[in-house]
């Protein structure tokens, strides 16, 4: 994940560097255009100065012919003019100096212009390289962005799934707690039912014993009734035993009914 962000940062840095180089190239191109304009103006100025400069006549025969034509009287005046520099010669010299200075300036400008053009060509090459690098960086950035988006989508999906699992786990925990409570109540009710069943078995055993005892007593009494010649001195005792057995059996039946009602109440509490 960190390498992806480093790649993204590097791509952004390359884009910024490419923009800076492009700005510098535009400034150099503007300077180059300005220098070409100045060079053109200087060339036009030199052309105008060259046009205004008059070419002097060659010394020799024309001067002698002029002396012969003017005669001896005009010779001193000509010599007096040649004695010092004329205004035309001074203007011509100044114009030549300006022309030489302009040519020197043009030469320097052309040299500087050639260097500037070379610099601009190098900058253009660097700009092309930076454009290629920028395009590659943009593609890398786009690929990294797609990877990050895919990772974010995957993380979002995992978070959603985790949330669902947490909700399901919470529901199962609550269900398990409910089941545990029900099992606890069921175990307690089961113990109560076991105790009730044990007591009911005891009462049923007692009732069966009372029934057998009563059966034996009734059988004995019936045998004695069948033989009236024999005396029955123990008949009141047997009747008392029968009444006692019947009373105890009725008590056992009441207790059994009470236990049956308790068992029904416990069964109603079962989940």
Domain residues of the chain, as ranges?
2-53+85-170, 181-225+234-269
DSSP 245: H
Q: Residue 124: how many CB atoms within 10 A of its CB? A: 14
Residue 91 has pLDDT above 90, yes or no: no
DSSP state of 239: H
pLDDT higher than 50, residue 74: no
- At residue 83 the predicted structure's pLDDT band, cuts being 50, 70 and 90, is very low
> What's the rounded Cα separation, in Å, for the pair 24 and 18?
10
Which residues have CB under 8 Å from 117's CB, separation 6+? 32
Mean pLDDT of 45-70: 53
What's the rounded mean pLDDT across residues 235-240?
72
pLDDT band for position 58 (cuts 50, 70, 90):
very low
pLDDT at 180 exceeding the cut of 80:
yes
The pair of three-digit structure tokens given for residue 50, joined into one six-digit string: 């060259």
Residue 14 pLDDT exceeds 50: yes
pLDDT value for 245: 82
Which residue did the predictor score with more confidence, 188 or 78? 188
pLDDT at 81: 45
- Whether 93 and 51 have beta carbons less than 8 Å apart is answered as no
Q: Give residue 161's pLDDT.
A: 92
Whether this prediction's pTM lies above 0.75 is answered by: no
Residue 163 has pLDDT above 70, yes or no: yes
pLDDT band at 172 (very low <50, low <70, confident <90, very high): very high
Band the pLDDT of 62: cuts 50, 70, 90.
very low
Distance CA 18, CA 22 (A): 6
- The residue ranking higher by pLDDT, 16 or 157, is 157
What pLDDT score does 53 carry?
Answer: 55
Task: Please tell me what DSSP assigns to residue 54.
Answer: P
**Is the CB of residue 266 less than 8 Å from the CB of residue 196?**
yes
Is 170 exposed, middle or buried (CB count within 10 Å of its CB: 0-12, 13-18, 19+)? Answer: exposed
The pLDDT-based confidence of 42 (bands split at 50, 70, 90) is confident
**pLDDT at residue 60, rounded to an integer:** 46
Beta-carbon contacts of residue 221 (< 8 Å; ≥ 6 apart): 235, 238, 242
Distance CA 127, CA 18 (A): 7
Q: What average pLDDT does the segment 164-193 reach?
A: 88
**What stretch of H or E contains 124?**
helix 87-226
Structural contact between residues 214 and 249, judged by C-beta atoms closer than 8 angstroms: yes
pLDDT tens-digit profile of 185-207?
888 888 888 999 899 899 889 88
The better pLDDT of the pair 121, 228 is held by: 121
Angle between helices 2-52 and 87-226 (to 10 degrees): 170
pLDDT computed for residue 170 by the predictor: 92
CATH number attached to the domain at 2-53+85-170: 1.10.287
pLDDT of res. 111: 78
Query: What average pLDDT does the structure give for the chain?
Result: 76
* Phi, psi values for residue 53, rounded to 5°: -80, 130
Per-residue tokens: 140:
């890398």
Confidence band of 64 (pLDDT split at 50, 70, 90): very low
The average pLDDT across 243-266 equals 88
């Amino acid at each position: 994940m960190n390498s992806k962000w480093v790649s993204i940062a590097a791509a952004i840095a390359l884009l910024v560097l490419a923009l800076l180089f492009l700005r510098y190239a535009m400034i150099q191109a503007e300077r180059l255009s300005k220098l070409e304009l100045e060079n053109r103006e200087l060339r036009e100025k030199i052309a105008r100065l060259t046009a205004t400069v008059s070419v002097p006549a060659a010394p020799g025969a024309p001067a002698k012919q002029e002396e012969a034509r003017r005669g001896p009287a005009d010779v001193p005046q000509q010599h007096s003019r040649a004695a010092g520099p004329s205004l035309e010669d001074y203007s011509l010299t100044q114009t030549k100096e300006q022309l030489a200075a302009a040519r020197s300036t043009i030469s320097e400008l052309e040299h500087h212009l050639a260097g500037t053009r070379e610099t601009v060509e190098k900058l253009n090459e660097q700009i092309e390289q930076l454009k290629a690098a920028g395009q590659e960086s943009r593609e890398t950035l786009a690929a990294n962005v797609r990877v990050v988006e895919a990772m974010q989508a995957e993380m979002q999906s995992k978070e959603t799934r985790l949330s669902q699992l947490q909700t399901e786990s919470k529901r199962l925990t609550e269900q398990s707690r409910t089941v545990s409570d029900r099992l606890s109540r069921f175990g307690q009710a089961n113990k109560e039912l076991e105790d009730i069943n044990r007591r009911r078995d005891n009462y049923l055993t007692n009732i069966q014993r009372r029934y057998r005892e009563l059966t034996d007593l009734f059988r004995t009494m019936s045998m004695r009734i069948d033989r009236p010649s024999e005396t029955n001195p123990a008949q009141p005792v047997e009747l008392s035993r029968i009444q006692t057995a019947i009373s105890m059996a009725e008590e056992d039946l009441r207790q059994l009914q009470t236990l049956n009602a308790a068992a029904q109440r416990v069964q109603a509490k079962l989940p």
